[in-house]
Structure 1
Amino acid sequence: MSAGPQQAKRPGRPRGASDTRERILANARELFARNGIDKTSIRAIAAAAGVDSALVHHYFGTKEQLFAAAINIPVDPMTILVPLRDTPIEELGLVLPTILLPLWDSEMGDALIATIRSLVAGSDVSLIRSFLQEVITAEIGPRVDNPPGSGRLRVQFVASQLVGVVMARYIIGLEPFASLPAEQVAATIGPTLQRYLTGELPALP
């Protein structure tokens, strides 16, 4: 017996919603890689995906959350950065690894490390660079910009240390470092990070 014209529609997500979401992500990934985060707007991503800006916000929220989704980071970067805004400058060096290490050691961290491994091994290194320079540096750099013009370099020194921790602890699995308690690692590298942020830098040529 054929279905009548009044047959009820199936409840659930509208047809094509999944395809639309993936199309937004694909265009966001391409534009973020090409232009960086600062120079990529939600409106530009929406136009490239052929949708309204409001739909992008509906699916992903803020631009930072969209970036996290585009490169498959399983955590909103602002959940890390916002607490740092209330941290005194002289405590940033310890607080930063104290926040990051337990996250990296968690189940969520497994997905994060897998994403980093994939990005580094692939062709999307520019996405990591953009995130470090335009989100992390923009958030912390102005607070440690003493002498003027040094904030960006200070944050990059910190990033180099933290990337080294990720490589040694999670990707290479260098023992016994990989098995040390998170608080021990944070307490050990914290003073070095603090020196990068607020200590005297060698004079540049």
Structure 2
Amino acid sequence: MTPRVEDAAAQRGRGRRPGGPDTRAAIVDAARSSFAAKGYDKASLRGIARDAGVDPALVHHYFDGKAALFAETMAVPVNPSELIERVLDGDRERLGWRLAETFLTVWEPPERREALVALVRSSMTSEDAARMVREFLGREVFGRIAASTGAADPQLSGSLAASQMIGLVIARYVVRVPGVATASRDELIERLGPVLQGYLVDDPRRPE
């Protein structure tokens, strides 16, 4: 056996699953278990690859980072990175309004809403689900947005913005509070935009 053939045989003997029809599903299953056991922050792509029996490169082949893999495991029908780019791509003076618009654009289509409402409901009844959603939103969504604006306290600013939008989701789509549930998308954007802007950009504590 030539050295090249021996190397290939050795690679096959390590027990790593090659790319194939079941590989993506195996990665998602392993990720779901890892996120549930460790939370979003402590789960790692390398550890997920090991649990799935695949090379870490295959995880990156199928998923655009940990945020995208998490979204897949939680049946979130959007790519978080694309949403953040949409919010940050524009005039800083209108960032709060873009965040409100982007958030509502994700939630308004009925075909997406069912999965997202299910995610919110699970986070209200399961501490494991709540921890995963909390860490994911804090690190990958609102935390990244707050950090990009140079907020004096990015964690607090991001958390305040998150509480505003999560509260809106619960009031509008889960509890269906009168007024909030029936308000138009444009009206909500105009009402929420200045509030989010204050949290993320126009912080009164920001040095001149």
TM-score interval, normalised by the smaller of the two chains: 0.7 to 0.9
Whether the aligned pair in 1 keeps the contact of 2:71 and 2:78 (CA below 8 Å) is yes
- Give the CA deviation at 1:111: 2.1
**1:144 matched residue in structure 2:** 149
Instruction: Determine the structure 1 residue equivalent to 2:115.
Output: 111
Over the aligned positions, Cα root-mean-square deviation in angstroms equals 2.3
Counterpart check, 1:69 vs 2:59:
no
The alpha-carbon distance between structure 1 residues 138 and 160, as it changes in their structure 2 partners (threshold 3 A), is closer
User: What amino acid maps onto 1:88 in structure 2?
Assistant: D
Unaligned runs of 5+ in 2: 1-19
Instruction: Indicate whether 1:59 and 2:62 are aligned.
Output: yes
Judging changes above 3 Å, is the alpha-carbon distance between structure 1 residues 82 and 186 closer, same or farther for their aligned structure 2 residues?
A: same
Residue number in structure 1 paired with 2:161? 158
CA deviations 1:57-102 (Å, max 9, x no partner) are 3433432211110111111111211112223332111110111112
Instruction: From the superposition, tell whether residues 48 and 88 of structure 1 become closer, same or farther in structure 2 (CA, over 3 Å).
Output: same
TM-score by length of 2: 0.78
CA contact (8 A) 1:93 1:192 kept: yes
In 2, distance between residues paired with 1:143 and 1:57? 25
**Letter of the structure 2 residue corresponding to residue 168 of structure 1:** A
Larger helix share, 1 or 2: 2
Distance in structure 2 (CA, Å) of the matches to 1:36 and 1:82? 25
The equivalent position to 1:168 in structure 2, one of 171, 174, 196, is 171
In the alignment of these two chains, the number of paired residues is: 184
Percent of paired sites with the same residue: 36
Matched with 1:6 is none
Going from structure 1 to structure 2, the CA distance change for 1:200 and 1:185 (only over 3 Å counts) comes to same
Unaligned runs of 5+ in 1: 1-15
**Deviation of residue 28 (structure 1)?**
1.2
